[in-house]
Structure 1
Amino acid sequence: MTTEASIFAVGDVFIDRDDPSTAFHSAKEFLRGGDVLFGNCEGAFSDVWERAPSSGSPVVAPAVNARPLAEAGFDVVSLANNHSVDGGYGALLNTCATLAELGVSPVGAGADIAAARRPVVVNRGGLRVAFVAYASVFPYGYEAKAAVPGLAPLRAHTRYTPWEPNEWQPGLIPRVTTETLAQDLTALREDLRAARERADVVVASFHWGDFTRPYVLTDHERRCARVAVDAGADIVLGHHHHMLRGVEFYRGKPIFYGLGHYLFDLPRLRERLAKDGYLSATGPEDELALSRRFGEYRIQPKEGYPLLPFHEDSRLTGVAVVRVSANDGPVAVGFRPAVIGPDNEPVHASPGSEQWKSVVTYLERCCAEERLATRFVPRQAGSGLPEDCVQILPEDRGEGGGA
């Protein structure tokens, strides 16, 4: 039996370009070096689809566009996100079938709630790695039910209260807190405990957070990450923010709050927004409202980046790498920095290069802004991490320590 393996995880992946075969041309060699590769499939691959009534701007591409995921070595992808049902129930089921035919296991969505909650277990030489996935951010109606397709939900109610309890403050930005739905927390705990019984290592993926601002984490993210670890998760992976978020350790388990984009094509944005009426302005008041909401982080076309209409911070990306053991769970944690180029391809950076430093510095700021007790250090000998990774350690561990 294999005693250790490397789990590679990336953020949003979706191929929607004129020549899908060009996807991952630079990153493929590194990605295929992991024992298990995971990503968040941010859309539907289907030749037949019908826009879901509650969708924003649908993210749907032909089924053939999914092939590069298999060619890059992806073993498991999450469909628990805010775009997986954009093309309707039929397109979601087509996506699941297409991925499965390619040898890529979808998780977090399916033909009913039982399928959406069912873990995927990957076996590598006898080492069993289970994946479960849930979404907290998605349009109404995307959640699966007893006999209805959809995703596995982890919802929360949002509460708005004034910062100062002793005075009226009309129009001021409030304190925002959340309360996770009890039934969803119960389901999360049940699913993770069930996965724990079937596997040596458990990975939990979540679609959550605030994509309108950099660095920030919500109380929902922090709370649910800890609930997941307490219920049996060895690794927590976050998605949805479009930009990287911080990393921390809880009970020795790594929490990657947000892995940002990796290769997420979003072409013809101006045309799409005009057609769909999503995040677009029809007058001065709408324009002012969008500016107030997003500021410089508004999703809009960016010169020189036709497939990536997001803030320049979203071009900083990489691969989370966790070395795991059947007996000890995570034994080493790292990150391989990459920068997305104008062709929307992630190019992995060499240690010490300006690109490499820019990603590490950004991750350090993400942790500093949210006061996450985490350090980024050169890869330690004997860690088992790839040579070009930065190693991630809890702040209170010595450099000889592990994860």
Structure 2
Amino acid sequence: MREGAISIVLAGDLVLDEPDGAFWLAGIAPALQAADLAVGHLEVPHTARGAEMQGDVPAPGAPPENVAAIAGAGFHMVSLAGNHIADCGAEGIADTLALLDAAGVAATGAGLTLAQAARPALVVRGGRRIGLLSYNCVGPEMAWATDSRAGCAWLRIETPDGAPIAPAADLVRLTDEAVAALRADIAALRQRADFVMVALHKGIVHTPARLASYERALSHAAIDAGADVVIGHHAHIVRGIEFHRGKPIFHGLGNGCVVTSALSPAQDHPARAEWAQRRKALFGFEPDPAYTLAPFHPQAVNAMLGRVVLHDDGRIEAGIIPVDVLPPGKPVLAHGARAQEIARYIEDITLAAGLPAIAIAKDGIIQNGMGQG
């Protein structure tokens, strides 16, 4: 039996490489703890062991103790299917899953086999069953799980020349294979859940506003298949928001909380140091030197948490909670004029991406061009 409205808060990428995860999460924890359900995307493995994956720029394992901090900050559920979750191999994935289970955080999107990685996460809130599916759309393919290899769940996006799927590849078209997988997985989850969320690791990193050509088609396909909300992340900068069939699509939640030294040129890991320099040239930005633990595009300080309210009549209301990122990289809830500035930024990048106009009210609730919230 339904027992009233359910509030869900959605966070983007979580990379807690620094000690004392509770300190870095404290600025957004009040919003997470006030929600009936808080969902984030765990970007990197939390482990002190494992072999470094070759062929991409690997992230280091984050401190295992920070998983307890993630739970303590208010997260109940995380997606795992991203381009770095396999960076410490099968051991890193196994350790991360064990730590999440011990902390009472439901997880989906990574596993020691594809069957385990694709298994949805389920929680019950207000008498309703809420399910989450998680997919990596950007590669690298070596991080994708198979029947005999640890990794993450995935959806294949086509490249113009048939090149392997990788974060640096030109990903252009949604494949029939991906649509079929979404339909099958969402239909199966619909048999067990009253509300279905789909998390997609997708898009173009470090670039304001712009959506890749496949992103809307992929997100719409998830809604068409039966999803109630689509959650995007990977770009490390927020993206626009749209509604499809009245269901919200957060094309990119940006950084939920990212504090890491792995993106600094001043380190002894050659591949990570080289990437820290090369990405500035590739994407045309210079990080603010004050943001030593979050050296992202300057516009990435305009951050947000997504907010969804599932009303007892089945109506879905969507909104944002504005977040400011303070040096050296700590996210904090924004208020007053700064909150309104961030809301206007999100309205502007939504239009700049070619999406229908939205209006964000002072309380964060979103209205789209059709008057649907």
Name the TM-score, length of structure 2 as normaliser.
0.91
Partner SS, residue 23 of structure 1: helix
Shift of 1:271: 5.1
* 2:127 equivalent in structure 1: 126
- Which residue among 307, 331, 343 is the counterpart of 1:321? 307
Shift of 1:357: 2.3
**For each residue in 1:231-271, what CA deviation from the matched residue of structure 2 results, as whole angstroms up to 9, or x when unmatched?**
11000010001111000000000000000002111215335
Q: Supply the distance in 2 between the matched residues of 1:335 and 1:290 (Cα, whole angstroms).
A: 29
* 1:280 equivalent in structure 2: 274
For the pair 1:394 / 2:347, whether they are aligned, the reply is no
Shift of 1:365: 1.4
Do 2:59 and 2:262's aligned partners in 1 also have CA atoms closer than 8 Å?
no
Shift of the 268–213 alpha-carbon distance from structure 1 to 2, 3 Å rule, reads: closer
Unaligned runs of 5+ in 1: 161-175, 380-388
**For each residue in 1:5-54, what CA deviation from the matched residue of structure 2 results, as whole angstroms up to 9, or x when unmatched?**
01110111121213333122222122101111001111010121210112
Q: Supply the distance in 1 between the matched residues of 2:197 and 2:60 (Cα, whole angstroms).
A: 26
* 2:359 equivalent in structure 1: 376
- Which residue among 261, 269, 294 is the counterpart of 1:308? 294
* 1:115 equivalent in structure 2: 116
Q: Supply the distance in 2 between the matched residues of 1:142 and 1:44 (Cα, whole angstroms).
A: 12
- Which residue among 268, 272, 284 is the counterpart of 1:295? 284
Q: Supply the distance in 2 between the matched residues of 1:275 and 1:81 (Cα, whole angstroms).
A: 21
Matches within 5 A, 1:354-369: 355-369=338-352
- Which residue among 332, 335, 342 is the counterpart of 1:347? 332
Do 1:374 and 1:392's aligned partners in 2 also have CA atoms closer than 8 Å?
no
Task: Name which one, 1 or 2, has greater alpha-carbon Rg.
Answer: 1
For the pair 1:249 / 2:249, whether they are aligned, the reply is no
**For each residue in 1:169-199, what CA deviation from the matched residue of structure 2 results, as whole angstroms up to 9, or x when unmatched?**
xxxxxxx772333333212211111111111
Q: Supply the distance in 1 between the matched residues of 2:267 and 2:217 (Cα, whole angstroms).
A: 34
Shift of the 272–79 alpha-carbon distance from structure 1 to 2, 3 Å rule, reads: farther
Do 1:54 and 1:140's aligned partners in 2 also have CA atoms closer than 8 Å?
no
Q: Supply the distance in 1 between the matched residues of 2:120 and 2:275 (Cα, whole angstroms).
A: 41
Do 2:238 and 2:304's aligned partners in 1 also have CA atoms closer than 8 Å?
no
Matches within 5 A, 1:43-54: 43-54=44-55
- Which residue among 225, 229, 235 is the counterpart of 2:229? 235
The code of the aligned residue for 2:41 comes to: N
Do 1:57 and 1:272's aligned partners in 2 also have CA atoms closer than 8 Å?
no
Partner SS, residue 123 of structure 1: strand
* 1:37 equivalent in structure 2: 38
**For each residue in 1:307-361, what CA deviation from the matched residue of structure 2 results, as whole angstroms up to 9, or x when unmatched?**
101112111112111111365251x1110101011142211112x41x2122112
Partner SS, residue 307 of structure 2: strand
The code of the aligned residue for 1:360 comes to: A
Partner SS, residue 82 of structure 2: coil
* 1:100 equivalent in structure 2: 101
Shift of 1:216: 0.6
Shift of 1:211: 0.8
Runs of 4+ in 1 over 3 A off after TM superposition: 268-274, 289-292
Shift of 1:114: 1.2
Shift of 1:110: 1.1
Do 2:18 and 2:63's aligned partners in 1 also have CA atoms closer than 8 Å?
no
Shift of the 230–84 alpha-carbon distance from structure 1 to 2, 3 Å rule, reads: same
Name the TM-score, length of structure 1 as normaliser.
0.85
Q: Supply the distance in 2 between the matched residues of 1:294 and 1:35 (Cα, whole angstroms).
A: 38
How many pairs were matched up? 364
